[in-house]
Amino acid sequence: MTDQKPTVVLVHGAFADSSSWNGVVEKLQSHDYPVIAASNPLRRLTSDADYVRQVVAGIDGPVVLAGHSYGGSVISNAARGLDNVKALVFVAAFLPDEGESAIDLSGKFPGSTLGAALRPAPVTLPDGSQVADLYIDKEKFHDQFAADVPEATTSVMAATQRPVTDAALGEGAAAPAWKEIPSWVLVATQDQNIPPQTQRFMAQRANATQVEVDASHAVSVSQPGEVARLINAAATAVA
């Protein structure tokens, strides 16, 4: 046992930014956790994971690494081989096995309505490759992403959403860290992006500790206390 609380690193997913963790950050800080909400580039899975890996590698002491949505794919790749990562927490998130993409998993079971809500925009990456930035249509954002969040809030979230490239969602994952690091999963039972059945499947496959919350995909916004509670449980278990 140690008195040192781990640093909690929070990684947002697609169509969000670090502010989507604000309520969770407040809860964790009130219990004296050091917290970093990393800015996920949302360009390609490999490069996104490399960025988060560098963030985590620069932290002294133990780390609990949490990811929402596509951020789950990122943390699973980023944490592999990092000795200071003691627990992984997946919040309405992907837990891909090697070679699986977010697109593969989102279609594994029925229930996702995300595809029909997306609006693509062509973009050129720094390496010259042509991809599409994907946004959720602003008129569909509330019902698709955050149906249990007040519309006054989701209108701002829709305006400030960060796009993800189709290349990032389609890239196969590397060997996953959840095979080596204890993992916790929050299943959002009203999720319209990642079907709850898919979330349960991934949690069971990873032999993760699982909780279910009656919430939309944006559970970190609508129920930050539940998310912080699970992160605290993970941190306490590996202390």
Nearest to 103, CA basis, from 22, 232, 14, 5: 14
Length of the chain: 239
pTM to 2 decimal places: 0.97
Q: What is the average pLDDT value for the chain, to the nearest integer?
A: 97
pLDDT tens string 102-135: 999 999 999 999 999 999 999 999 999 999 999 9
Contact 176, 95 (CB under 8 A): yes
Residues 6+ apart with CB under 8 A from 146: 153, 154, 157, 216, 217, 218, 221, 222
DSSP sequence for 53-110? HHHHHTS-S-EEEEEEEHHHHHHHHHTTT-TTEEEEEEEEE--PPTT--HHHHHTSSS
pLDDT tens string 185-233: 999 999 999 999 999 999 999 999 999 999 999 999 999 999 999 999 9
pLDDT tens string 72-99: 999 999 999 999 999 999 999 999 999 9
pLDDT at position 2 over 70: no
pLDDT tens string 154-196: 999 999 999 999 999 999 999 999 999 999 999 999 999 999 9
Token pair listed for 178: 């959840």
CA distance 94 to 206: 11
pLDDT at position 1 over 50: no
Helix (H) or strand (E) holding 23: helix 22-29
- Pairing label, strands 164-165, 130-136: antiparallel
End-to-end CA separation in angstroms for the chain: 6
